Amino acid sequence: MQPRSPSDPGQAAVPPGAVVVTGGARGIGAAIADRLAADGWRVVVIDREESSRHPTVVGDAGDPAVTAGAIAAAPVPLRGWVNNAAVFEDADLHDDAGRVRQLVDRNLAPALVGTTTALRAFLAHGTTGAIVNVSSHQASRPVAGAAPYSIAKAAIEGLTRATAVDYGRLGIRANAVALGSIRTERLDASLEPALAGVHALGRVGEPVEVADVVAFLLSERASFISGAIIPVDGGRSARGPDAEARTVGPEPNPTRGGAPGLSA
Active-site residue numbers? 149
One-character DSSP codes across 110-173: HHHHHHHHHHHHHHHHT--EEEEEEEEGGGTSPPTT-HHHHHHHHHHHHHHHHHHHHHGGGTEE
Measured CA distances, 146 to 11, 91, 100, 150 (Å): 39, 7, 10, 6
Question: Which residues, including other chains, have CB under 8 Å from residue 227's CB and lie 6 or more apart?
Answer: 160, 161, 164, 165, 168, 174, 175
Work out the number of other CB atoms within 10 angstroms of the CB of residue 187: 14
Angle between helix 97-125 and helix 64-73 axes, rounded to 10 deg? 30
